[in-house]
């Protein structure tokens, strides 16, 4: 009777232990040092995605099953535990389960001696920490990308000031030059300036600081319309396949920027197939639950519209994929790429509220998928273009710009169009001009980023004394809602770099708006 009771108690104790291990997603392992054999509990095999009884049976089998990047560290930690007869030690490793998923385990163990060294063992418990590790990795990646984004945005802002001066003065000079050779040289300067401007826009796209004009669109229409141009871009040795999902949800994005995303991805696929191949563009609806969303940086549960570009090119290894979205990172040869293609894709998609994934196998191709939030609103009608009109005027404009080259360009441009320009080098001069002029300033033209005080703060001060004044912001950084709120509906924005013609047009639009 006592024996049956003891057996029942042991069974209950075992069931309790197994229940606790399963609930904690943990298991027990044992390494017998004399024979080198390893033993695993069923719960640990289950956590690692292994069939019952298929856990590694030797130390070498165990080490071979974990990620190569962790293998030597784990070997060293275990050997140190043996050498020091450690009362407690910890290891952490990643591995790829049979179903292809990557998992992470955290192990804690101790050395247990029998006094003779014949049956000394390392005994430990291993816990599934995949969710925690993925969250940590996503946070690290997000922090890294945020830091790089701030750097990229700052560089773009400074270069936009320089490019505004270069492009603006080149346009002013060109208007007065007759010699065809000199005009040709000036045109080359202008072309180079515009190419540099595209690079700064890509940097701003990566840093998610560009100005987007989102509207509800049918992504299939964007893909099909751009498909005709893409066939010319990829060349005759590459086949283009477009597969549109039907019916497809609408999405609210900037269609011009989505075209940029598609163009960059297709060009990357083309470059990955120098001997030719197939590029496949596809769209589809996707539903992400909380578990799936947690596995992707920047993702939230909900409905998405996906845009995928697949190729059968050279592919990328895991380390390359980990750096693929960083600006100026490229595996292409010299003069074959700037390293801004995927960085731009990353910035545009994340600023649009989505996220991007890369699936790639060396030698077997790459699939890049952009997830864009689905929108319930109906499609928006196309906006008609305004007809050209006169750009001159006689109004008084208060200019606040701390960069001498940009300030000189603006003064020359607006003066030539007949405006009266009050030139302020800093905030103090701008405030002084505003205080002396009673009701005769029609437009405040100010940089958003200024020493001592921001442009929007200056606008708040000026608007109080001149309630009918209009405001035009210029900046190498993008427009923000915070800037617009300083002057309400009367505020407009012009991004640097800009040309004299673009400046005159924006000033006239703002005054007439």
Q: How far apart are CA 110 and CA 280, in angstroms?
A: 53
- pLDDT number for residue 481: 45
Domain with CATH 3.40.50.2300 in the chain: 396-512
Q: CATH code for 215-375? A: 3.30.565.10
| Per-residue pLDDT at 487 | 47
Q: Which is more confidently placed, 3 or 254?
A: 254
Strands 396-400, 420-424: pairing is: parallel
Q: What is the pLDDT of residues 126-135, one digit of tens each?
A: 888 887 887 7
- C-alpha 103/C-alpha 94 separation (Å) is 6
The pLDDT value given to residue 396? 92
Name the band, by pLDDT with cuts 50, 70 and 90, for residue 280. Answer: very high
Instruction: Give dist(CA 446, CA 425) in Å, integer.
Output: 10
How distant, in Å, are the alpha carbons of 60, 230, 309 from that of 122?
15, 60, 49
Of 488 and 257, the structure prediction assigns the larger pLDDT to 257
Please name the residues in contact with 370: beta carbons below 8 A apart, sequence gap of 6 or more. 261, 265, 306, 307, 308, 345, 349, 354, 355, 356
Residue-level pLDDT at 204: 62
Fold of 11-128: Beta-Lactamase (3.30.450)
Chain segment 31-73, per-residue pLDDT in tens: 888 777 888 777 777 777 777 777 778 888 888 888 888 888 8
128 vs 374, which has greater pLDDT?
374
Do you know the residue count of the chain? 513
Q: Average pLDDT in the 252-264 region?
A: 84
Task: Say yes or no to pLDDT of 314 above 60.
Answer: yes
**pLDDT the model gives residue 14:** 56
Query: Cα–Cα distance between 111 and 294 in angstroms, integer?
Result: 37
Question: Is beta strand 396-400 parallel, antiparallel or unpaired with respect to 365-375?
Answer: unpaired
- Structure confidence at residue 281 (pLDDT): 93
What is the mean predicted confidence (pLDDT) over 198-218?
Answer: 68
Residue 8, pLDDT above cutoff 70:
no
In the chain, list all ranges with CATH 1.10.287. Answer: 135-206
Range scoring the smallest mean pLDDT among 43-57, 87-101, 333-347: 333-347
Q: Which whole number is the average pLDDT over 340-347?
A: 79
At residue 419, the pLDDT reads 94
Long-range contacts of 228-235 (CB under 8 A, 24+ apart): 230/262, 230/263, 230/266, 230/281, 233/263, 233/266, 233/267, 233/270, 234/266, 234/267, 234/269, 234/270, 234/279, 235/270
pLDDT bin (cut points 50, 70, 90) of residue 422 is: very high
- CA–CA dist 372, 306 (Å, integer): 6
- Residue 230's SS3 state is helix
Listed in sequence order, the residues at least 6 apart from 197 whose beta carbon sits closer than 8 Å to its beta carbon are 160, 163, 167, 497
Q: What percent of the chain has pLDDT over 90?
A: 13
Question: Please, are residues 126 and 106 in contact by the beta-carbon 8 Å criterion?
Answer: yes
Q: What is the pLDDT of residues 9-36, one digit of tens each?
A: 566 555 655 555 565 567 787 888 877 7
- Read off the pLDDT band of 381 (50, 70, 90): low
Over the chain, what is the mean pLDDT? Answer: 80
Q: How many CB atoms lie within 10 A of CB 173?
A: 13
pLDDT of residue 232: 76
Q: How far is CA 87 from CA 35, 36, 79, 123, 143, in A?
A: 21, 20, 13, 10, 37
The model's pLDDT over 386-404, given as tens digits with 9 standing for 90+, comes to: 555 678 888 999 999 988 8
Those residues whose C-beta lies under 8 Å from the C-beta of residue 329, and which sit 6 or more positions away, are: 323, 339, 343
What residues are paired with 102 via a beta bridge?
96
Condensed to tens digits (0 to 9), the pLDDT of residues 105-120 reads: 888 888 888 655 556 8
| Per-residue pLDDT at 68 | 84
* DSSP state letter for 411: H
Does residue 154 sit in helix, strand or coil? helix
pTM value? 0.51
Beta carbons within 8 Å of 195's beta carbon, 6+ residues apart: none
- In 3D, which of 465, 325, 302 has the Cα closest to residue 398? 465
Order of all β-strands in the sheet with 38-40: 38-40, 26-32, 121-128, 102-112, 89-96
Residue 406 has pLDDT above 80, yes or no: yes
- pLDDT(497) > 80: yes
Confidence of residue 5 (pLDDT cuts 50, 70, 90): low
pLDDT of 452 > 90? The answer is: no
Cis preceding-peptide flag for 497 (omega within 30 of 0): yes
pLDDT of residue 484: 47
Distance of CA 234 to CAs 81, 268, 279, 319, 366, Å? 57, 10, 9, 27, 16
- 162 band by pLDDT with thresholds 50, 70 and 90: confident
Determine the pLDDT at residue 65. 83
* Superfamily (CATH) of domain 396-512: Response regulator (3.40.50.2300)
The top-level CATH class assigned to 135-206 is: mainly alpha
In angstroms, rounded to a whole number, what is the distance separating the alpha carbons of residues 477 and 449?
8
**For residue 483, is pLDDT > 50?**
no
Residue 91: pLDDT band (50, 70, 90) is confident
Which pLDDT score is estimated for 482?
A: 42
pLDDT in tens, 346-370: 888 888 889 999 998 888 899 999 9
Residue 270 vs residue 291, higher pLDDT: 270
In this predicted structure, which of 20-34, 310-324, 366-380, 462-476 has the lowest mean pLDDT?
Answer: 20-34
């Amino acid at each position: 009777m006592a024996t049956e009771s003891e057996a029942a108690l042991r069974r209950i104790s075992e069931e309790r232990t197994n229940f606790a291990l399963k609930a904690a997603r943990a298991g027990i392992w044992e390494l017998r040092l004399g024979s080198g054999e390893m033993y695993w509990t069923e719960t640990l095999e289950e956590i690692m995605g292994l069939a019952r009884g298929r856990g590694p049976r030797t130390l070498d089998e165990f080490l071979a099953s974990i990620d190569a990047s962790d293998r030597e560290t784990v070997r060293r930690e275990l050997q140190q535990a043996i050498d020091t007869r450690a009362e407690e030690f910890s290891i952490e490793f990643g591995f790829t389960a049979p179903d292809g998923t990557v998992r992470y385990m955290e192990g804690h163990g101790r050395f247990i001696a029998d006094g003779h060294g014949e049956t000394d063992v390392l005994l430990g418990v291993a816990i599934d920490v995949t969710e925690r590790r993925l969250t940590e990795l996503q946070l690290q990646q997000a922090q890294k990308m945020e830091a790089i984004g701030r750097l990229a945005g700052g560089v773009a802002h400074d270069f936009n000031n320089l490019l505004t001066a270069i492009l603006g003065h080149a346009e002013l000079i060109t208007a007065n030059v007759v010699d065809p050779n000199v005009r040709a040289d000036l045109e080359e300067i202008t072309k180079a300036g515009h190419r540099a401007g595209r690079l700064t826009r890509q940097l701003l796209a990566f840093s998610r600081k560009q100005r987007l004009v989102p509207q509800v669109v049918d992504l299939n229409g964007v893909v099909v319309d751009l498909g005709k141009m893409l066939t010319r871009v990829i060349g005759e040795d590459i086949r283009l396949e477009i597969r549109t999902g039907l019916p497809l949800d609408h999405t609210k994005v900037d269609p011009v920027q989505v075209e940029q995303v598609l163009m960059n991805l297709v060009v990357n696929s083309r470059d990955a197939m120098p001997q030719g191949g197939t590029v496949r563009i596809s769209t589809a609806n996707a539903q992400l639950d909380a578990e799936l969303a947690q596995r992707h940086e920047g993702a939230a549960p909900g409905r998405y519209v996906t845009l995928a570009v697949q190729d059968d090119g050279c592919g990328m290894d895991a380390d390359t994929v980990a750096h693929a979205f960083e600006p100026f990172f490229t595996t292409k040869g010299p003069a074959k790429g700037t390293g801004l293609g995927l960085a731009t894709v990353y910035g545009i998609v994340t600023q649009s509220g989505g996220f991007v994934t890369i699936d790639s196998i060396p030698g077997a191709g790459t699939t890049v998928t952009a997830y864009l939030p689905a929108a319930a609103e109906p499609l928006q009608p196309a906006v008609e273009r305004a007809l050209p009109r006169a750009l001159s005027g006689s109004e008084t404009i208060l200019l606040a710009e701390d960069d001498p080259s940009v300030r000189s360009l603006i003064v020359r441009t607006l003066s030539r169009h007949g405006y009266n320009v009050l030139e302020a080098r800093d905030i103090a001069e701008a405030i002084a001009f505003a205080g002396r002029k009673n009701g005769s300033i029609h437009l405040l033209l100010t940089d958003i980023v200024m020493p001592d005080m921001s442009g929007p703060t200056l606008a708040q001060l000026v608007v109080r004394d001149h309630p009918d004044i209009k405001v035009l912001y210029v900046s190498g950084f993008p427009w923000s809602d915070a800037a617009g709120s300083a002057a309400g509906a009367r505020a407009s924005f012009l991004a640097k770099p800009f040309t004299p013609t673009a400046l005159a047009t924006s000033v006239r639009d703002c005054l007439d708006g």
